Amino acid sequence: MDDKKIYKQLQDWFPELNCKKVPKESQRRDFQNFKAWMVTEKNGRQARSYLMPLHPAQPLRHSLGHSAVLQDMRLDLEKAHLEMEQAAQPTLQNYEQHKAEIGKNYSVQEQVAEIVLSEICSLLRQCGCRMLLIYADQYYWIAVPEHAEKVNKFCKKFEKQFKADEVWIELFSLSDCLKST
């Protein structure tokens, strides 16, 4: 198997990654190396990443400002972050009011993570991008150009590549339940 393909596809989607060498064959299947490879710097000072983390236990503590794709879109990321916090507030307030009835097994943070990811997905869709969601030690997302065939091939190759690390990927879509709110 040519395990360079996902790296080459990412360089095709994001030319800024062309300045980085594809990791050596022995390192290509290590998800930690992949995460490091996805980070760049602009003008030697501003950290930019094409792989964005989102920890499910702290979904409102994300760093949209480091997303290379969102930086390039010149969006008001502080405003976007505030809108995500506002979208999550009703869920958090409802949980606090009804914690005793809901029970301790309910994960409000998972629901907030879903809201945050949906908000990010909406932002990306407005700019002609799709979101790939990676399940690893935490959630990670990648904004990719909207091209169904290439995205599906990328996902299949990605899962094969990082299967040993138990890392999965999917094309994120807005939840029907969240669309109605």
Q: Is the pTM of this model over 0.75?
A: yes
pLDDT for the residue 167: 92
How far is 66 from 159, CA to CA, in rounded Å? 25
* Number of compact structural domains in the chain: 1
pLDDT for the residue 148: 83
Q: How many CB atoms lie within 10 A of CB 89?
A: 13
How far is 55 from 45, CA to CA, in rounded Å? 25
Reading phi first (left if > 0) and then psi (alpha if -120 to 50, else beta), residue 74 is in: left
Residues of the chain with pLDDT under 50: 1, 176-181
pLDDT for the residue 2: 62
Q: 35-68: string of b/e by CB count within 10 Å (b at 16+)?
A: bebbebeeeeeeebbbbbbbebeebbebebebbb
Which range marks the domain in which residue 44 is found? 5-179
